[in-house]
């Protein structure tokens, strides 16, 4: 049963909150959690605000959930921040989304460094504006020695393109004699993906009531547990995150066995 929580503060956690965290940590914590952060636009619309206000509120939620994930002992948190399809949105919204990593990292990077969080990015960097890439590269560089949570932003990411690029690379390597066709296995293929340094997600969370994957980590999610919630991303709280992990802990993962 979930108890009402106050907003998360590292130095000021109520005992019920600490108890919940202890309880979660006493069981298997998902090592890699991936989140499709959906519902920012609807959150804003409900308040008669511009869509970008929802994205901005969503950015604050990223900060809270990152800290909590790190605290619980999650090793990797992958966040779908911008898809290869999101370029179709109005220019003003795209420009805003491209500025969010700068604002997020400009505000929170020192705290992330202190919390031992390592920032990474997964996606095609070619089309990203220079200012976005610069902020991400600085964060990756400043946190490269950190050993805590890996905060992995999926930015200009699309799974089908990722898989196609991997296939092309495999074909090249076979042609050049670097790879023996018969030795190609699931493990070898995974090394050609953008997530090559990460384990597959154990838990996928999607907010806002949409029940689909939207071209997100299609290969990597093969055996992942899914948690869908109607909560819109800007309303997604520590309580909701804890609930998702509790649900995960109640699942039986059989990987096709019995």
Which residues are known to be catalytic? 38, 86
CB-based contact 235:43 (threshold 8 Å): yes
User: Among 74, 138, 77, 145, which Cα is nearest to 108's?
Assistant: 138
Exposed, middle or buried: residue 237 (CB in 10 Å: 0-12, 13-18, 19+)?
A: middle
**Among 8, 20, 30, 58, contact with ligand FPP (rule: CB under 6 A):** 58
Question: Per rule CB under 6 A, is residue 86 in the interface with ligand FPP?
Answer: yes
Question: Per rule CB under 6 A, is residue 81 in the interface with ligand FPP?
Answer: yes
Which listed range, 7-15, 51-59, 141-149, 223-231, lies at the site for ligand FPP (CB under 6 A)? Answer: 51-59
Residue 84 annotated as part of some ligand binding site:
yes
Closest approach of Cβ 207 to ligand FPP, in Å? 9
Closest approach of Cβ 152 to ligand FPP, in Å? 11
Question: Per rule CB under 6 A, is residue 76 in the interface with ligand FPP?
Answer: no
Closest approach of Cβ 208 to ligand FPP, in Å? 6
Residue 214 annotated as part of some ligand binding site:
yes
**Among 30, 41, 123, 158, contact with ligand FPP (rule: CB under 6 A):** 41
Residue 38 annotated as part of some ligand binding site:
yes
Residue nearest to ligand FPP (CB): 41
Question: Per rule CB under 6 A, is residue 59 in the interface with ligand FPP?
Answer: yes
CA distance 191 to 100: 30
CA distance 23 to 34: 22
The site that binds ligand FPP (CB under 6 A) totals a number of residues, namely 19
- What's the angle, vertex CA 204, arms to CA 213 and CA 211, rounded to 5? 40
Question: Per rule CB under 6 A, is residue 201 in the interface with ligand FPP?
Answer: no
User: Among 150, 184, 130, which Cα is nearest to 77's?
Assistant: 150
Question: Per rule CB under 6 A, is residue 217 in the interface with ligand FPP?
Answer: no
Exposed, middle or buried: residue 17 (CB in 10 Å: 0-12, 13-18, 19+)?
A: buried
Residue 43 annotated as part of some ligand binding site:
yes
CB-based contact 200:222 (threshold 8 Å): yes
Question: Kind and range of the H or E element at 240?
Answer: helix 238-249
Angle, in degrees to the nearest 10, between helices 51-72 and 238-249: 50
**Among 35, 53, 62, 69, contact with ligand FPP (rule: CB under 6 A):** 62
Token pair for residue 54? 């929802």
Question: Per rule CB under 6 A, is residue 104 in the interface with ligand FPP?
Answer: yes
What does the binding site for ligand FPP look like in residue numbers (CB under 6 A)?
37-42, 55, 58-59, 62, 81, 86, 97, 100-101, 104, 153, 208, 233
């Amino acid at each position: 049963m979930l108890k009402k929580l106050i907003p998360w503060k590292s130095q000021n956690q109520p005992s019920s909150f600490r108890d919940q965290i202890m309880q979660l940590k006493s069981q298997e914590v998902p090592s890699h959690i991936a989140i499709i952060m959906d519902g920012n636009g609807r959150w804003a619309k409900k308040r008669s605000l511009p869509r970008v206000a929802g994205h901005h509120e969503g950015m604050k939620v990223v900060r809270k959930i990152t800290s909590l994930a790190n605290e619980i002992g999650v090793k990797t948190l992958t966040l779908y921040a911008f898809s290869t399809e999101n370029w179709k949105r109005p220019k003003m919204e795209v420009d805003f989304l491209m500025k969010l990593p700068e604002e997020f990292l400009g505000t929170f990077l020192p705290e992330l460094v202190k919390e031992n969080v390592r920032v990474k990015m997964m996606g095609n960097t070619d089309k990203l504006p220079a200012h976005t890439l610069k902020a991400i590269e600085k964060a990756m560089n400043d946190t490269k020695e950190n050993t805590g949570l890996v905060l992995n932003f999926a930015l200009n990411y699309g799974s089908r393109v990722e898989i196609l690029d991997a296939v092309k690379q495999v074909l090249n390597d076979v042609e050049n004699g670097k790879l023996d066709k018969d030795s190609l296995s699931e493990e070898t293929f995974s090394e050609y993906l953008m997530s090559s340094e990460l384990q597959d997600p154990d838990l996928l969370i999607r907010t806002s009531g949409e029940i689909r994957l939207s071209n997100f980590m299609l290969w990597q999610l093969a055996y992942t547990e899914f948690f869908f919630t109607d909560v819109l991303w800007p309303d997604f709280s520590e309580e909701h995150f804890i609930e998702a992990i509790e649900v995960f802990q109640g699942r039986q993962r059989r990987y096709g066995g019995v």
